[in-house]
Amino acid sequence: MSTVAASQDTPDRDAARVPVRRLTVLYDADCALCTFVRDWLSRQPQLVPLEPIPAGSARARARFPGLDHRATLEEITVVGDAGQVYRGAAAWIVTLWALREHRPLAHRLSTPAGAKLAKGAVLAAARWRGARAGKEQWGGGTYRSADGWSYDPRQGWTHTPPTCADGTCSTG
């Protein structure tokens, strides 16, 4: 997959000779589309293991201290085990490349013509996210764990209102 380069601000790490054995997908845990894609990725047969980590989380900051974590919340970012950093369309392509059933598609998207299509898909997803950001919508908004929501694939969404027992509730 040498035709998909890391982001332009990342020096070439000789991807042709450095094998990718694991990829970390940084996703926005507060974005319904992002969590849907994370769940979809986890169900796909993987040729290269994918590890999803919430972007900007303490875990992501500890794992990748040199990364611009604010940027990872704005644009999908995937980090290879040898330090490769992929953003935007390149991140989507390398993620598809890691999936058994989607590797042929990743190869097609890594061509100049395919890269235009991949970039268009990323821009469409970003536009969808931007249009939904900050909107309170019944049943279609973001359910945040901090607000007491949790999701179990077998049972669906459940809500347990936060308590003030730990002293973190607002008093206003």
pLDDT digits (tens, 9 = 90+) for 116-129: 777 777 666 666 66
Nearest to 89 by CA among 109, 74, 104, 71: 109
Q: Say if residue 161's pLDDT is above 50.
A: yes
What single-letter DSSP state applies at residue 172? -
**Angle between helix 89-97 and helix 112-132 axes, rounded to 10 deg:** 110
Residue 11: what pLDDT? Answer: 46
The residue that leads in pLDDT, 36 or 64, is 64
Q: Say if residue 94's pLDDT is above 60.
A: yes
Q: 134 φ, ψ to 5°?
A: 80, 0
Convert the pLDDT of each residue in 8-58 to its tens digit. Answer: 444 444 555 678 899 999 998 888 888 888 998 999 999 999 999 999 999
Residue 6: what pLDDT? Answer: 40
Q: How confident is the model at residue 166 (pLDDT cuts 50, 70, 90)?
A: low
Average pLDDT (67-94) is 90
Average pLDDT (150-167) is 70
The residue that leads in pLDDT, 43 or 137, is 43
Encoded tokens for 58:
């303490």
Helix (H) / strand (E) element for 27: namely strand 23-27
Contact 7, 75 (CB under 8 A): no
Kind of pairing, strands 50-54 and 149-152? unpaired
Q: How confident is the model at residue 136 (pLDDT cuts 50, 70, 90)?
A: very low
